[in-house]
Amino acid sequence: MKKWFIFLLVPFLSGCSLRTLNPISETGADQAFLINLSFGLMMFVVAVVCVLFILFTVKYRETEKNKTDIPKHEEGNRTLEIIWTTLPILLLIGLAIPTIIYTFQVSNTDASSEEALHVNVVGEQWRWTFQYENGKETHDKLVLPVDQEVVFHLNSTDVIHSFWVPRLVGKRDAIPGKENKLKVTPNEVGTYQGKCAEYCGILHADMRFVMEVVPEKEFEEWLAKEQ
């Protein structure tokens, strides 16, 4: 009994700070909405199935009265057939429409504004390098201005890495020989944890970085400082 109790406590004692469902950007909020929507639809289906299972179990349970009865043959019920055919279709449509809209918005990186900040992100075994437009370069520390659109240009020098700041936006791969882009606007000042979300070798766990979102004036001062 004690072993099971300890096992159940592990998720609460792990101290994980990767809060995907507490986003600090509009893009992250859209992605969190899709996760919650998917979970809500799934729980609706589970609830319906469980309720029907309990009702039929109680209604058609074996009793002394119906132990020898032969159930009446039913040819079919057109109303029920229409319901259980159209309901899944409606659920899928309700999930597909916002998914397509938000996916297009995230993927449309070419529609970034002229004021957008462009940052080259280079993943390599075993660190992250961030290169700004003025030539400034940092390792394992990403500094961004709040409420300004940022376009990440993701590259890798060796194997596939995955750039991920859980509270900022979803994952995007950094692939050798191919540049991927990721557009996002952080809207909350603070310090956040980032990491590589693609297993990339024996020291994969060390590929972490810190992202600091600061006021615009503070960012300009930081950017102007010598490396």
As a whole number, mean pLDDT of residues 48-53 equals 93
Residues 70-90 as b/e (b if ≥16 CB within 10 A, e otherwise) read eeeeeeeeeeeeeeeeeeeee
Nearest-Å Rg of the Cα atoms of the chain is 26
20-62+76-107, what's its fold?
Answer: Helix Hairpins (1.10.287)
pLDDT for res 78 = 86
If pLDDT is split at 50, 70 and 90, which confidence band does 84 have? confident
116-163 confidence digits (pLDDT tens)? 899 999 999 889 999 998 888 999 999 999 989 999 999 999 899 999
If pLDDT is split at 50, 70 and 90, which confidence band does 5 have? low
- Select 114-224's CATH number: 3.40.228.10, 1.20.120.1200, 2.60.40.420, 2.60.40.1840: 2.60.40.420
Q: Are 127 and 161 in contact (CB under 8 A)?
A: no
Domain boundaries, the chain: 20-62+76-107, 114-224
Question: What are the phi and psi torsion angles at 143 (to 5°)?
Answer: -115, 130
pLDDT for res 97 = 92
pLDDT for res 10 = 56
> Which has more pLDDT, 40 or 107?
40
Whether residue 15 is predicted with pLDDT greater than 60 in this model: the reply is no
pLDDT for res 193 = 93
Kindly state the tokens that stand for 88.
């899944």
Whether residue 176 is predicted with pLDDT greater than 90 in this model: the reply is yes
Kindly state the tokens that stand for 92.
């899928």
Whether residue 11 is predicted with pLDDT greater than 60 in this model: the reply is no
Q: What is the DSSP letter of 91?
A: H
pLDDT for res 61 = 81
88-97 confidence digits (pLDDT tens)? 999 999 999 9
Q: What is the DSSP letter of 135?
A: S
